Amino acid sequence: MGTITLEGLEFFAYHGFYPEEQKIGNKYALDITIQTNFIEAAQHDKLSETVNYETLYNIAAKVMQEPAKLLEHIGFKVISRVRDHYPNVNLVTVKVSKFNPPVGGVCTRAVITMEG
């Protein structure tokens, strides 16, 4: 058993509850952690026996292109699509960060973390 993590995936996207957010867009970051058994990949040095980083990135990029109102919805979609592509992973954890959220004051990021 082990973990595979992609940290600091950055995207510019048009998510948000408020119509202005959906028009002007914002910067977002995702961290994706997969818990899975990759001992076969480690022993045989075969990418086909583990989770491909490029595939994870592409899943995240596609989700980020689809407008959403909530960070929670983004996290849910990433987890669902990772599980669709890699049904044998034990756990998927996604952290979604929105830079400079509209909270009426100084806030570097709003962040949610989901597991599934």
In the chain, the domains with their CATH numbers are 2-115 (3.30.1130.10)
Residue 43 has which token pair? 């022993």
**Measured CA distances, 2 to 7, 11, 39 (Å):** 16, 27, 8
Tell me what pLDDT residue 19 has: 93
Residue with tokens 């830079």: 99
Tell me what pLDDT residue 37 has: 95
Compute mean pLDDT per 10 residues along the chain, 116 residues long, and list them. 96 95 96 96 94 97 97 98 97 98 95 98
Q: What is the pTM of this model?
A: 0.94
Query: Which amino acid makes up residue 28?
Result: Y
Q: Are 93 and 76 in contact (CB under 8 A)?
A: no
98 as an active site residue: the answer is yes
Tell me what pLDDT residue 6 has: 98
* DSSP for residue 47: G
